Amino acid sequence: MASFVINAAEKTIDYEAALDSLPREIVNDPILNKYKQCFEGIGCLKTIHKIKLKDEAIPRIVARRIPVALRDKVKSALDDLEAKGIIEKVNEAT
- Asked if pLDDT for residue 70 goes beyond 90, the answer is yes
CA distance 65 to 39: 33
Region 17-39: mean pLDDT is 71
- Asked if pLDDT for residue 54 goes beyond 80, the answer is yes
Residue 23, pLDDT score: 65
The H-assigned helical ranges of 13-86 are 15-21, 24-27, 30-34, 71-83
Lowest mean pLDDT among 11-15, 44-48, 49-53, 60-64: 11-15
Of residues 60 and 72, more confidence is placed in: 72
> pTM for the full model?
0.46
* Cβ-based neighbours of 26, under 8 Å, separated by 6 or more: 32
Q: Evaluate whether 13 touches 1 at the Cβ level (below 8 Å).
A: yes
- Show the CA angle centred on residue 57, arms to residues 74 and 67, nearest 5°: 20
The chain-wide mean pLDDT, for the chain, equals 75
CA distance 73 to 84: 17
